[in-house]
Structure 1
Amino acid sequence: MLFRRFERLINIFQDAPSEAPPDRVWSFYFYYLRQVWRSFAALLAVGLVASLIEVALFSYLSRIIDLANNSSPATLFSEHWGILLWMAFVALILRPVFIGLHDLLVNQSINPGMTSMIRWQNHNYVLRQSLNFFQNDFAGRIAQRIMQTGNALRDSAVQTVDALWHVLIYAVTALVLFAQADWRLMVPLIIWMVGYISAMRFFVPRIKARSVASSDARSKLMGCIVDGYTNITTLKLFAHTDLEQRYAREAIEEQTDKMRQATRMATSMDLTISTLNGLLIVSTTGLALWLWTQSLISVGAIALATGLVIRIVNMSGWIMWVINGIFENIGMVQDGLKTISQPITVADQPDAEPLRVQRGAIHFDRVHFDYGGSRQVINGLDLNIKPGEKIGLIGPSGAGKSTLVNLLMRLYDINGGRILIDGQDIAQVSQQSLRAQIGMITQDTSLLHRSIRDNLLYGRPDASEEELIAAIHRARADEFIPLLSDPQGRTGLDAQVGERGVKLSGGQRQRIAIARVLLKDAPILVMDEATSALDSEVEAAIQESLETLMQGKTVIAIAHRLSTIAKMDRLVVLEKGEIVESGSHRELLAQNGLYARLWQHQTGGFVGVD
């Protein structure tokens, strides 16, 4: 019950306070700390009391020695039982209680709760980034930054709170206790504090800068390794293990060099602080002994000064590494900022309404688009697609066919013009509702590393078992799904498909994708090389299913095999981002233009026509 109470102090899945996290490091810290301020306020209070108790124990040591010196053994307990009982109460009851409260706050509340909250909010934000965001970075590096930023921010914040009270309480109370014994005992401690602060001011910024560089190199190494694992099939097929090892070797060498630069500075700081600590112990102990020989302080004061100085020295080593860890973690947070706080380039308008599709008319109205370069990929394209019309997009590679359907899905924002669906500008509606109204089958079918059932239900999560089975049958996927199994013994619909669906053949993945879109049953259908991975026999077998799927829908189909889309209502031929021809199969052949040449090449290649 006690554990659960502390574990519920932080709501892991609470909404983020704003749309985007700040892009400056201290604002980024405050953004998350203000969401858990109650836990940190409690930690500050508990830390204050715990630190005071620790210092009090050294004061008790001095008192006990002086009591023993100034009392007879027979009357020590009878005369001083009250103060001795209070010391025992502080050591046996109060100290464990506040240490326990500290541990409960850190281990049960802040460590798991704050870390998971940060990861949840960062993941949700990054998930809304555009396709271009993910194409410009390693998936492994993005994932690592999401994972490490939560840990690093939490650790640096907790360590700062702990270090703050230890530094302040020990420094202030040590000076007060030394002054009570003899003001001259303060001199070595003050000199040491000046030297310690000077060393920190010199070393910490340099360690921070080198930690940032080391963290960046570590993220790059992680991305390099994950990239190799993700594309392991390509690596094996091209027999380039040596090349991949050289690529990883360079990344490891860079990361190791950056780490060595950081650890050199840390070692130098360690040696400097150790020297200062040695001087503090010798000077304080020597001065205390001299003062005792002059009858200026008691034996208890010698024990207090020596014990407290040794504690401060031990603490200074801990503080040194805590500060080093804090700034190393700040470096990781700064590294994570590069990914997490990037603005979302394809975002919903604040007043975005859901898309309502009643007829399915599509209008590309003078659309311009490029991928950030000087060359226009889509150049002033104007295309009207009637409700229920089925068009085929044709053209050589690079003509802009796939780009056009990606723009329709609003995976990228156009540079000029408008795209309308039933008169609604897709830039003004929510992306979620837009993509819910469009079913898409892509050439490169990528499945989630989950079960067949989970992948199919991505089309419509609330589909019944009967609807699921019907979609599988219509896509002819029931021929292989019952035969599937995975290493954990799961079979059929429960079998896992592996990362990106690697355990299935290209044709099997394509049929799963078709079944998923059949289940979704959206009013607009986009097919980008939908049957490219199927052999002719399977393609012919599911052609009837595809024709059923297209009934009553507005369809845009892309295919390099022109025979698969020759029966469409209209064929639109693209070249260099512009429409150069439009019409039926017969009309385009009669024009003897680009389409006729493409048709001639394919039929010539397959059936021997000159």
Structure 2
Amino acid sequence: MIRSFAAFFERLVHPYPEDPPPTPPKHFFAFLWTCSRGMRPWLVGMTLLTAVIGAFEALLFGMMGRMVDWLAGVAPGELWAREKWSLLGLVAILLFSPLVVAVQTAFKHQTLAGNFPMRLRWDFHRRMLGQSLAFYQDEFAGRVATKVMQTALAVREAWFTLGDILVFVTIYFVTMVAVVGAFDLRLVIPFGGWVVCYGVALWYFVPRLGKVSKAQADARSLMTGRITDAYTNITTVKLFSHAQREAGYVRSAMQEFMVTVHGQMRLVTGFEVVNHTLSMLLIGSTAGVALWLWMQGQATAGALAAATAMALRLNGISHWIMWEMAGLFEHVGTVQDGINTLSRSRTVVDQPNAPALRVAQGDIRFEQLRFAYGGKGNDEPLLDGFNLHIRAGEKIGLVGRSGAGKSTLVNLLLRFYDVQGGRILIDGQDISRVTQDSLRAQIGMVTQDTSLLHRSVRDNIVYGRPDASDAEVMAASRRAEAHGFIQSLSDASGRQGYEAHVGERGVKLSGGQRQRIAIARVMLKDAPILLLDEATSALDSEVEAAIQASLYKLMEGKTVVAIAHRLSTIAAMDRLVVLDQGRIVEEGDHRSLLARGGIYARLWAHQSGGFIGEEDEGSGDTLHVLPRTDDSEEEEEPRPAA
């Protein structure tokens, strides 16, 4: 019975709506209102029932006062005859109030308490997933996660305080004053004086508590972000023996947080003392006025009992109000802090009703591109008037030192950033006018810095194609030379093989193992456009040689853009494009570029299978190289490209 009752109210709200979440406004009350989307009928129901409960409680004190008068002035045998309807009214209140409380608490705890913040987390998380790559380059991941979690709870508590607690207190106080005034209007004077003084105390303390609570929420997010950052990069911390330094770095954030805590607790202590003083004055003055009126014969014993009981009840409620108001402003501070992150506009967005990209051939054009990472017109552009045509099925290699613009072109093709001028076309379709999901679905990419999800090996591989069968997963793994080591994997929970979990960012695997899983993932995806950014740099020579053939087969029939500092891995491409400072300085195939005797030829002569190094300070267009560290010798003729 109870379980069915609770389940009915739990099902009133769906915590995971499918419709896309709106962009929350930046103003507090507008933000709060937008967050209540889908919850408003139940918030209103909870609020109205709370008002009824508040009125019931105050009326109950009045009825108790009347009973004292009946006992003093009515003979026992005449009580039912004279006060029958009053007694029946009291019984009705006592019987009806549990039902009201049951429905009110069901709205609050079954319908709203769990579903409301979970729905907000769902919406906030989807909004954060839609933020651009630049957004996450400027934020702690832990800080963003903290704001998603704690802002959702703060919004719920703010609504509960406004729609439940404050309504209860308001209705209770108004009803209480009416009941006391019905005995004698002069009994209202102490309550009126108390509410004025209490309001002044709230006016002084609560905004200050709100201000320090906002600072505290920001300090908490910073502290959590720094702690998470240390855990995320624990290998680097241990490698450089900087555990103590990281502890000190977090300690400074903890100290900033403690400053806000001390400020908050000082205000709370002052408020507590003032509140208790006002409560004692209320009880004393109410009892004194009621006793004086009784001595003058102008008030009954029932009025004395009811007024004093209400003053005592108000003493308890005033402490509750104080903490709830302090909590409200703490939640206000948390919400305001979260607004700065959660309401931030997305910089890379799909156009309304944007169609999906359809790739039949894979022809790519960069036309008159202008791009600066700052995103402003007055920033020095990395690309300015850049043009490049990659024909359908063509395989090109991008060559150039770090900062020449190779990765930038790849990021723009994936639309991780929007260009400030020009356009990028795939099969004649402007990528800024199609959906981002459809664009990236048509592109497979293997990067040098492979990051895996903290899930099973299988989950990581099928990320390229979630509907793939086990047979297809294993086939892709074999092609990527990964099946052998995957079978030997196990984790602390006893999971083995493809079900073994790889740890955060794949930390339980070697760099070469992570790279082979990433290659298997892209092989399974089998997209018509393939991007390779140092795809085999983490592999040893033997495994690299084995995978080269598989990658070469994977490239058949696809448009390929490859970046590599080891020129031998891209020398067999159809065309090589040499970049320097965002400009194309040379292009052609391997043989023609060697014959030209330019930058590429000098790189090839210097490398002997090495890597392109950084340009020395003050040098011209010469690109220096670092020798290889393995013992293999470079062949004169290039091998199949990766």
- Which TM-score band applies after superposition, normalised by the shorter structure? over 0.9
Task: Check if 1:431 corresponds to 2:433.
Answer: no
Partner of 1:90: 93
Question: Deviations along 1:561-601, whole A, 9 cap, x unmatched?
Answer: 11111111111111111111111111112222221222222
TM-score (norm 2): 0.92
Counterpart CA distance in 2 for 1:138 and 1:481 is 32
8 Å CA contact retained: 1:354, 1:433: yes
Q: Per the alignment, do residues 291 and 19 of structure 1 end up closer, same or farther by CA in structure 2, a change over 3 Å counting?
A: closer
Partner of 2:621: none
Alignment of 1:331-370 (within 5 A): 331-370=333-372
Q: Per the alignment, do residues 9 and 269 of structure 1 end up closer, same or farther by CA in structure 2, a change over 3 Å counting?
A: same
Q: Which has the higher helix share?
A: 1
Task: Check if 1:576 corresponds to 2:581.
Answer: yes
Task: Check if 1:402 corresponds to 2:417.
Answer: no
- Identical residues among aligned pairs (%): 50
Counterpart CA distance in 2 for 1:229 and 1:189 is 55
Alignment of 1:215-226 (within 5 A): 215-226=217-228
Q: Per the alignment, do residues 608 and 102 of structure 1 end up closer, same or farther by CA in structure 2, a change over 3 Å counting?
A: closer
Question: Deviations along 1:350-405, whole A, 9 cap, x unmatched?
Answer: 13111111111111112121110733222322111111110001111111111110
In structure 1, the gaps of 5 or more residues are none
Counterpart CA distance in 2 for 1:384 and 1:106 is 61
Counterpart CA distance in 2 for 1:385 and 1:16 is 38
TM-score (norm 1): 0.97
Counterpart CA distance in 1 for 2:22 and 2:370 is 29
Residue among 549, 555, 573 paired with 2:554: 549
Counterpart CA distance in 2 for 1:304 and 1:156 is 33
Letter in 2 for 1:148: Q
Equivalent residue of 2:99, what SS? helix
Residue among 38, 43, 54 paired with 1:40: 43
Counterpart CA distance in 1 for 2:231 and 2:25 is 33
Alignment of 1:358-507 (within 5 A): 358-372=360-374, 374-507=379-512
Alignment of 1:35-114 (within 5 A): 35-73=38-76, 76=79, 80=83, 83-91=86-94, 93-114=95-116
8 Å CA contact retained: 1:15, 1:121: no
Equivalent residue of 1:420, what SS? strand
Counterpart CA distance in 2 for 1:211 and 1:163 is 20
Counterpart CA distance in 2 for 1:526 and 1:162 is 56
**Moved beyond 4 Å, runs of 4+:** 15-18, 73-82, 606-609
Counterpart CA distance in 1 for 2:81 and 2:22 is 68
More deviation, 344-353/377-386:
377-386
Counterpart CA distance in 1 for 2:495 and 2:552 is 33
Please tell me the root mean square deviation across aligned C-alpha atoms, in Å: 1.7
8 Å CA contact retained: 2:59, 2:176: no
Counterpart CA distance in 2 for 1:369 and 1:463 is 38
8 Å CA contact retained: 1:378, 1:404: no
Counterpart CA distance in 2 for 1:599 and 1:258 is 60
Letter in 2 for 1:138: F
Between the two proteins, the alignment pairs up a number of residues equal to 608
Letter in 1 for 2:122: W
More deviation, 157-166/516-525:
157-166
More deviation, 416-425/64-73:
64-73
8 Å CA contact retained: 1:174, 1:308: yes
Residue among 589, 592, 599 paired with 1:594: 599
Q: Cα offset for 1:15?
A: 4.6
Q: Cα offset for 1:512?
A: 0.5
Q: Cα offset for 1:90?
A: 2.4
Partner of 2:14: 11
Letter in 1 for 2:281: L
Letter in 1 for 2:5: L
Q: Cα offset for 1:177?
A: 2.0
Equivalent residue of 1:557, what SS? strand
Q: Per the alignment, do residues 16 and 353 of structure 1 end up closer, same or farther by CA in structure 2, a change over 3 Å counting?
A: closer
Letter in 1 for 2:169: V
Letter in 2 for 1:264: R
Equivalent residue of 2:464, what SS? coil
More deviation, 468-477/12-21:
12-21
Residue among 561, 564, 579 paired with 1:559: 564
